Homo-oligomer: A and B are copies of this chain.
Amino acid sequence: MANKSMNLKQLAEHLDLSQATVSRALNGYPEIREATRNKVLAAAAEFGYRANSIARSLATGRSGNIGIVFPDNFGMMFDPHFLEFLAGAAEMLSTRDMSINLSMPDRNHESSKYADIIRSQLADGFVVNGPVRHDSRVALLQSLKIPFIVHGRTESEVPFAWVDIDNASAFQRAAHLLIGFGHRRIALINAPKHFHFAFQRELGLKQALEAAGLPFEEGLMFNEPQTEDGGYRLTNLILQKNPRPTAILCGSMILALGCLRALRDAGLEVPGDISVIAHDDVFPYIRAEAMRPALTTTRSSLREHGRRVAEVLNDIIDGKLPASYHEIVPLELVLRDSVGPVTPG
């Protein structure tokens, strides 16, 4: 169908070498003489030879794919975040000549989905996205002995691999900053609390308040899927509180977008009347520094997470890292112009 291109055998014949030698030369084995390797590389380039990944997989027993299943909460938790993560993973994998095997969860037998994919060797391991506080996928994958990594964290008896940011401490630091500026009533616009990261973020705020001897007010905690619309509506609710909170913490830039709009509509100045800090997942098309005022954020690139998670999963599959490996991606608190001291009145 497509242009039948040269295969290893033909390349080897052309070079008057054995397939074994050509294969090794291409794959960087040390026992190949430099002169030979150069000849092989040159010929490969000349003919545009690329190893057939299928044949390689059959020989090595590795599919070269990592499996990513659409979050089953898709439609909730969702879109820009998941896609941004995907983009990072895809980017990283292409540098290692690997790919993503993307699939939808099977409503009926979601449990067998993973096993099926592994058994048919469509993927060598999985990424678990959008973990909830007690996520059953971890135990499932563990019992099936399938390599996996969680992006984020969940509560589990048995250790498992994960890569996450320190959500609690990020929001604690943000809150600490606000408290330092004299804020005492801080509202939180957050994702639904059954997500582990959302729960942790509220915890961080709580800790900062308690550390400062300030009361934690349940009534200032708002949870909603992270949409611009949600940010707008929740902010309007916040503004009805009496006395009005003097600062708002937003769980995502998308929520912040809605939040800022609501504040503008209400005729409030940031940071004059109210301070705002958001968590920035670094979407290329929503830039905190370009906003008016430039937004103070806790920042951690979701695309970067995608890259790192894919990398770590590969290393786990390769046995270079243990199945219990975990890592906290550092995160910055970027000071810009949306935080100021509380004004009396």
Interface residues of A in 88-111 (CB under 8 A from B): 90-91, 93-94, 97, 99-104, 106
Are the CB atoms of A54 and B58 closer together than 8 Å?
A: yes
- Rounded to whole angstroms, the CA-CA distance of A142 and B116 in the bound complex is 35
- Rounded to whole angstroms, the CA-CA distance of A106 and B94 in the bound complex is 9
- B-contacting 9-mer, from A21-29, A120-128, A201-209: A120-128
Query: Provided the pairs A78-B285, A103-B94, A144-B2 are in contact, do residues A121 and B232 lie with their beta carbons within 8 angstroms?
Result: no
Query: Provided the pairs A2-B146, A103-B90 are in contact, do residues A121 and B83 lie with their beta carbons within 8 angstroms?
Result: no
Chain B neighbourhood of A65, CB < 8 A: 99
Are the CB atoms of B52 and A120 closer together than 8 Å?
A: yes
- B-contacting 9-mer, from A68-76, A158-166, A293-301, A334-342: A68-76
Tally chain A residues at the interface, Cβ within 8 Å.
63
Are the CB atoms of B122 and A53 closer together than 8 Å?
A: yes
- The yes or no answer to A119 lying at the interface (CB within 8 A) is yes
- Rounded to whole angstroms, the CA-CA distance of A90 and B261 in the bound complex is 36
Residues 7-51 of chain A, each 1 if its beta carbon lies under 8 Å from chain B, else 0: 000000000000000000000000000000000000000001011
The residue of chain B having its C-beta at the shortest distance from the C-beta of A78 within the complex is B285
Q: List 11 A-B contacts (CB under 8 A).
A: A2-B118, A48-B115, A52-B119, A54-B121, A79-B80, A82-B83, A83-B83, A90-B102, A91-B104, A99-B101, A100-B100
Are the CB atoms of B87 and A104 closer together than 8 Å?
A: yes
Are the CB atoms of B2 and A120 closer together than 8 Å?
A: no
Minimum-distance CB pairs A-B, first 4: A75-B284, A50-B119, A53-B120, A50-B120
- The yes or no answer to A317 lying at the interface (CB within 8 A) is yes
Are the CB atoms of A99 and B87 closer together than 8 Å?
A: no
- The yes or no answer to A57 lying at the interface (CB within 8 A) is yes
Chain B neighbourhood of A116, CB < 8 A: 50
Chain B neighbourhood of A119, CB < 8 A: 2-3, 5, 48, 50, 52
Are the CB atoms of A101 and B100 closer together than 8 Å?
A: yes
What's the least CB distance linking A125 to chain B, in Å? 8
Chain B neighbourhood of A122, CB < 8 A: 53, 99
Of B83, B100, B225, B265, the contact of A265 (CB 8 Å cutoff): B265
Chain B neighbourhood of A273, CB < 8 A: none
Chain B neighbourhood of A63, CB < 8 A: 53-54
Are the CB atoms of B94 and A99 closer together than 8 Å?
A: no
Query: Provided the pairs A75-B285, A99-B101, A100-B101 are in contact, do residues A1 and B50 lie with their beta carbons within 8 angstroms?
Result: no
Of B50, B121, B146, B225, the contact of A52 (CB 8 Å cutoff): B121
Chain B neighbourhood of A257, CB < 8 A: 228-229
Are the CB atoms of A74 and B87 closer together than 8 Å?
A: yes
- The yes or no answer to A147 lying at the interface (CB within 8 A) is yes
- Rounded to whole angstroms, the CA-CA distance of A104 and B90 in the bound complex is 6
Are the CB atoms of B103 and A87 closer together than 8 Å?
A: no
What's the least CB distance linking A260 to chain B, in Å? 10
The residue of chain B having its C-beta at the shortest distance from the C-beta of A232 within the complex is B261
- Rounded to whole angstroms, the CA-CA distance of A101 and B232 in the bound complex is 37
- The yes or no answer to A86 lying at the interface (CB within 8 A) is yes
Chain B neighbourhood of A87, CB < 8 A: 70, 74, 104
Chain B neighbourhood of A115, CB < 8 A: 3, 48
Residues 229-249 of chain A, each 1 if its beta carbon lies under 8 Å from chain B, else 0: 100100000000000000000
